[in-house]
Structure 1
Amino acid sequence: MKLITDNFLISFLQRFDEHPFDVKLHGKTHHIGEGNPTFLVNLKEDIGNNELITSTSLALGEAYMKGNLDIEGDLYQALDHFLGQMGKFSSDHSKLKKLMFSSQSKKNQEKEVTSHYDIGNDFYSLWLDDTMSYSCGYFKTEEDTLYEAQCNKVERILQKLCLKKDMTLLDIGCGWGYLLIRAAKEYGVNGVGITLSKEQKKIFDERIEAEGLTGKVSVELMDYRDLEKCGKTFDRVVSVGMVEHVGREHYELFVKNAEAVLKPGGLFLLHYISALKEYPGDPWMKKYIFPGGMVPSLREMIHILSDHQFYTLDVESLRRHYYKTLRLWERNFNENRPEIQEKMGAEFVRMWDLYLNACAATFHNGIIDLHQILVSKGVNNQIPMTRWY
């Protein structure tokens, strides 16, 4: 039975009663749910009523970042139980309009993207694997390492693209370049990557030279909206974890630009974080982790692709693979926590630890998904008829 207390925060938290936990505030412990508590929320000070109602996510996330809220027990387990009840969160979009719907101008989107990816290559190298892949891996077995899973993922994408020697491949949002380097070395393709991150381009250029791929692979600082007028066409196009940054109003523009540079009959593989339905996103995530980020639903991407005469060949969900990837990132992150905290500060470390664990929990609960969609520009009768070609 729910008990109404004279404290708004405790009364508010009682709605999250599917899994039992305790809340400690002002020296008093309150039990929520039925059964033995699996974790304890230790609040060093109260959280304002207006903050909780305006955005539960922002209010609790900021309290954790600042150390005003601590979890005694396993952080991931607490988030897995709590975020499975996100439908009970409060969010006043009228008050959060500027945060939730930021400018889609080139200048602002470049600023938003670089705010995340240009934190520093030293930072990312501390917890990513040697491929420097910052996207979902693919685990063929439970024993696969993070490095093996990232290699598996790239190979899976390249196989789906049916690459042949001397084909041209464009990677929209190429990251640090591992996919194109592997495509050039193993399949003999000529690759071009585009990114908005100067830090990523720096590492990619170094890798191209080190691998002896100068003239075979190149990377450019370019906005996807400039592809249509770049004057180039490609046999294949791939985009991994990039469309989430373009904004719902620009999904069609993104697809239109991919269509413009893909040759007739060419294949396009889109790998992206997806959702069951369309929603504007999480306020805390938009404010602190991915400004301007928006997760497309599977159905809206399929609809837009179809409008541009892209024929859907294959759709695959890798949701549980991303859950496992995030758990390994979080482990690596916390193994290097002292070094990261020395460089970035305690609040940054708590923010990123919360981000990695919260993402793992949302994938585990099916709040978000990961899909790979393979399409052809027009009809392609030359590719193999079976899926595992």
Structure 2
Amino acid sequence: MSLESMIIKKYFNKNNQTPFKVIFKDGKVVDIGNGNPKFVIKVNDNIDKKLLLTSTSLALGEAYMDKKLDMESGDLYDVLDIVLGKLDTFDVNESALSKLIFTSTSKKNQKKEVTSHYDIGNNFYSLWLDETMSYSCAYFKNEDDTLYEAQINKIDHILKKLQLKEGMSLLDIGCGWGYLLIEAAKKYKVNGVGITLSEQQYLKFKERIKEENLEKYLTAELMDYRDLEKSKLKFDRVVSVGMLEHVGRDNYDLFFKNVDTVLKEQGLFLLHFISGRKENSGDPWIKKYIFPGGVIPSLREIISLGSEMNYYTLDVESLRRHYHKTLLCWYDNYKKNIDKISNMFDERFVRMWELYLSSCAASFNNGMIDLHQIVFSKGNNNTLEITRQHLYK
């Protein structure tokens, strides 16, 4: 019996399983589950046996990228929705992969890691993101919301949670292409600063500020969060959307310390981040190919850290199912534009990002990962809204 066959038998119960079929390169067929197969997987070549035992996800991910594994019928998402339900049982030898999993959290290295992802090219991201260029979980208030409408909903939801008033100051840490601050300036006339490590995001945000005639209200900065402490800046509100995942567990204290330095007393801090059920070092395939150095915090460690900093936890909301739907929209947009993307990158890259978007959607659907928004206040604040009604007006 081949190692690939042994792995299939190890992870999948033939009698209690969505039916699918695996065809091996020697013509052998393995049927899983009962009934008509929902999809058919082809094993075109041997998968690195040593790597399979070192990291199941890395071995299978690279096999798909190299077309050693492929789909004969069905959709990649459907496969991953089943496979990633077994992720907790996958083999991971962290000692053998220590250089990959535990990378430096220095300023220089983290800038390199972050820009390797976000500076791929604005033209690439514009093909499958919505018009706002929002690269984070959307908020689907209605079943038939478009991705654009859901991203506008998300920004509006966040701004309401921050309880903004005209003339307030707002810092966005990891501001991306800047749409959240643009909306904040338009709706609330706040003075905003957005910081990012991505040069392409920075340049696009500056361009948008000028296009919207918001130079009076907004500023874009190429800045590391570690430089906030010495910036002498002060803000009524701080928001960070989808950036904490790049900080690294060793630097959470440092991150909060820098936020605390610039946030005024009784100010609000909204933190939006992908979360894990418990502390984890991260998936080897994701860390090698998509988010080098990326770490997903657990909800409990972030709330605990806020409490240690004398921050009050005012609101916690899970948006896991919203991110599942967001990722399916991105995945669909990606597939619709795959010919254009194939003209920009080689086949291995195209398959890698297809795998990334579909696997993340499946991970959220399975509850392997979550998405949380936490609203903290710096110290006690009795002047805020006493209910959540303001969020739904």
* TM-score, normalising length: structure 1: 0.97
Once the two structures are superposed, the pairs formed by residues 284-323 of structure 1 within 5 Å of their partners are: 284-323=285-324
Map Cα deviations across residues 140-196 of structure 1 (whole Å, 9 max, x no partner).
Answer: 111000000000000000000010001000000000000001000110000000000
Aligned-partner Cα distance in 2 for 1:307–1:197: 31
Counterpart for residue 59 of structure 1:
59
Secondary structure at 2:58's aligned position in 1?
helix
Counterpart for residue 335 of structure 1:
336
Aligned-partner Cα distance in 2 for 1:248–1:34: 44
Aligned-partner Cα distance in 2 for 1:189–1:88: 48
| Counterpart AA for 1:316 | E
Counterpart for residue 39 of structure 2:
39
Secondary structure at 1:70's aligned position in 2?
strand
The reply to whether residue 259 of structure 1 matches residue 260 of structure 2 is: yes
Secondary structure at 1:98's aligned position in 2?
helix
- Which is worse superposed, 213-222 or 34-43? 34-43
On the 8 A contact 2:47/2:68 being kept in 1, the answer is no
| Counterpart AA for 2:23 | K
On the 8 A contact 1:228/1:261 being kept in 2, the answer is yes
Identity %: 60
Counterpart for residue 7 of structure 1:
2
- Which is worse superposed, 23-32 or 321-330? 23-32
Residue 35 of structure 1 and its aligned partner are, at CA, apart by 4.4
Counterpart for residue 389 of structure 2:
388
Counterpart for residue 359 of structure 2:
358
Residue 385 of structure 1 and its aligned partner are, at CA, apart by 0.2
On the 8 A contact 2:23/2:30 being kept in 1, the answer is yes
On the 8 A contact 2:19/2:36 being kept in 1, the answer is yes
Map Cα deviations across residues 282-319 of structure 1 (whole Å, 9 max, x no partner).
Answer: 00000000000000000000000110011000000000
Q: Which runs of 5+ in 1 are unaligned?
A: 1-5
On the 8 A contact 1:15/1:88 being kept in 2, the answer is no
| Counterpart AA for 1:60 | L
Map Cα deviations across residues 35-63 of structure 1 (whole Å, 9 max, x no partner).
Answer: 44322220111113211100110100001
Counterpart for residue 20 of structure 1:
19
Map Cα deviations across residues 214-235 of structure 1 (whole Å, 9 max, x no partner).
Answer: 1310011111011111101100
Secondary structure at 1:199's aligned position in 2?
helix
Secondary structure at 2:21's aligned position in 1?
strand
Over aligned residue pairs, what C-alpha RMSD do you find? 0.9
Aligned-partner Cα distance in 2 for 1:189–1:8: 60
Equivalent pairs, count: 384
The reply to whether residue 103 of structure 1 matches residue 98 of structure 2 is: no
| Counterpart AA for 2:123 | D
Aligned-partner Cα distance in 1 for 2:117–2:389: 36
Aligned-partner Cα distance in 2 for 1:267–1:295: 23
Secondary structure at 1:85's aligned position in 2?
helix
Residue 7 of structure 1 and its aligned partner are, at CA, apart by 1.1
Map Cα deviations across residues 193-224 of structure 1 (whole Å, 9 max, x no partner).
Answer: 00000000010000000000113100111110
Aligned-partner Cα distance in 2 for 1:387–1:146: 25
Counterpart for residue 326 of structure 1:
327
On the 8 A contact 1:276/1:368 being kept in 2, the answer is yes
Aligned-partner Cα distance in 2 for 1:7–1:139: 45
On the 8 A contact 1:273/1:369 being kept in 2, the answer is yes
Counterpart for residue 68 of structure 1:
68
The reply to whether residue 169 of structure 1 matches residue 170 of structure 2 is: yes
| Counterpart AA for 2:373 | Q
Secondary structure at 1:228's aligned position in 2?
coil
| Counterpart AA for 2:62 | E
On the 8 A contact 2:235/2:264 being kept in 1, the answer is yes
| Counterpart AA for 1:65 | M
